[in-house]
């Protein structure tokens, strides 16, 4: 009996430390992401209460399209944290980290020009979306300002990767929460016009977003260059080191990572369009259910980011066991959390819907059925995003991008349409299609991660990708 219990107790002690370390990294990341989400909520609250429904709709359309475009840049830059973590665990770490940091800022500038240019082009072609002339005018001007704000946003994201990769995620958390207050203040000041500031209406909300992002970028750069924790990595003598190779590495790994994020965001954006074709009640119900699923997904993405950082650190230490432990701990944490939320969604769907709406029985009934679907949705969503984080830590991005493209655009979207219309399954059919795509992605990405982990050679790099 003693021989059986001893290995189990040792395993428990090992993974207790793994869980604790993963949570220390993921919780500040989750809170920072929550702050970003709340900024959008703040914008909508001020626009809706101070300006009305039409400006709110225009702002929502512009924000959705801007988020879709920015996902390429934001998703692409997240690979830098894993590279920083890996470099910091190898010889010559400070100089290598410095080069990655400066290269990340250069790539942020490049991506802001490219993605910002595409956003401007999209803004000037808003008529393609078939909106009313007034919505088109307001949304176009709103998105033009958001296009300018991409530069400070991506600078913030790039600088944040240094903090996250060096295991200081609370920096971004504190700055994001501070920016939340700045954004609320600027929304009120520039929408209504306070003191010497003119009343800009809807454009005042866009201006508030721009200034909040400038604050975030500025605060992050000031902290990084002034804090003692980063001085070893930002020595003046490092500034002469070339960064071209690092910039190409970030682009080589980051562009597929950005496209992975884009494919997923675009899938759920198009799912909204499909549900909208079914009717207004279905669209309202879908928004309720997807909002709940988005909150829980945000939690899983924090665990995914921690997985990327911890797996890449193990790669830098040439530790196959470390890769496995970091990956398994992240998977178990995500599955545990998402299992709890799945249970809540499955057993309390009617009550959860009443938090959003109480005076429309049709919407409530549809929403309750979709929340149940969201319950089944949880495990696949949590597993696939953690697998992506682990693979990012292994610098494995090309095949995962193809997996997400296949799972979301080849399986999920066509199946959602077929089930909703030819098979007459309505909004539930759309969600079954999404669930199928997520489940396929979860299985393939998880298999890919553990296969790549098992092929790790025990030196500083995994085996080259062959499939």
Tens of pLDDT, residue by residue over 270-312, are: 888 788 888 878 888 887 888 788 888 888 888 999 999 999 9
- Tell me, what's the pLDDT at 16? 81
Q: Is the pLDDT of residue 465 over 60?
A: no
Q: Is the pLDDT of residue 463 over 50?
A: no
Token pair listed for 363: 């919407």
- Tell me, what's the pLDDT at 461? 45
pLDDT digits (tens, 9 = 90+) for 353-382: 888 778 788 888 988 999 999 998 888 999
Round to whole Å and give the CA distance between 278 and 78: 36
């Amino acid at each position: 009996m003693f021989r059986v219990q001893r290995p189990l107790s040792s395993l428990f002690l090992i993974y207790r430390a793994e869980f604790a370390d993963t949570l220390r990294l993921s919780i500040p990341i989750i809170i920072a992401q929550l702050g970003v989400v709340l900024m959008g909520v703040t914008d909508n609250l001020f626009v809706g209460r101070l300006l009305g429904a039409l400006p709110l709709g225009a702002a929502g359309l512009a924000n959705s399209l801007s988020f879709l475009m920015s996902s390429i840049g934001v998703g692409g830059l997240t690979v830098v944290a894993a590279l920083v973590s890996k470099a910091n665990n190898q010889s010559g770490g400070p100089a290598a980290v410095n080069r990655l940091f400066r290269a990340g800022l250069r790539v942020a500038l490049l991506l802001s020009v490219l993605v910002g240019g595409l956003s401007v082009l999209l803004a000037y072609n808003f008529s393609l979306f078939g909106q009313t002339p007034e919505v088109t005018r307001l949304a176009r001007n709103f998105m033009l300002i958001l296009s300018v704000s991409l530069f400070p946003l991506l600078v913030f994201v790039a600088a944040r990767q240094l903090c996250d990769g060096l295991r200081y995620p609370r920096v971004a958390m504190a700055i994001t929460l501070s920016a939340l207050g700045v954004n609320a203040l600027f929304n009120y000041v520039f929408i209504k016009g306070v003191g010497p500031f003119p009343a800009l209406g809807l454009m005042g909300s866009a201006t508030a977003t721009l200034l909040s992002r400038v604050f975030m970028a500025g605060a992050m750069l000031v902290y990084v260059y002034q804090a003692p924790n980063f001085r070893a990595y930002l020595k003046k003598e490092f500034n002469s080191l070339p960064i071209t190779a690092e910039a190409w590495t970030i682009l080589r790994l980051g562009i597929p990572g950005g496209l992975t994020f884009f494919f997923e965001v675009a899938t759920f954006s198009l799912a909204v369009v499909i549900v909208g074709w079914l009717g207004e009640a279905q669209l309202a119900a879908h928004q309720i259910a997807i909002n709940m699923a988005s909150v829980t997904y945000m939690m899983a993405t924090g665990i995914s980011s921690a997985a990327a950082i911890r797996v890449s650190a193990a790669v830098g230490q040439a530790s196959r066991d470390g890769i496995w432990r970091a990956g398994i701990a992240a998977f178990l944490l995500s599955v545990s959390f998402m299992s709890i939320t799945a249970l809540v969604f499955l057993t309390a769907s009617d009550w959860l819907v009443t938090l959003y709406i109480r005076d429309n029985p049709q919407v409530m009934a549809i929403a309750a059925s979709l929340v149940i679907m969201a319950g089944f949705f949880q495990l696949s969503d949590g597993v696939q995003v953690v697998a992506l984080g682990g693979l990012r830590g292994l610098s494995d991005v090309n095949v995962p991008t193809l997996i997400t493209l296949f799972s979301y655009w080849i399986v999920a979207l066509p199946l959602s349409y077929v089930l909703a219309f030819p098979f007459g399954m309505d909004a539930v059919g759309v969600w079954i299609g999404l669930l199928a795509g997520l489940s396929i992605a979860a299985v393939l990405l998880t298999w890919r991660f553990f296969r790549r982990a098992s092929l790790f050679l025990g030196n500083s790099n995994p085996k080259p990708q062959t499939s």
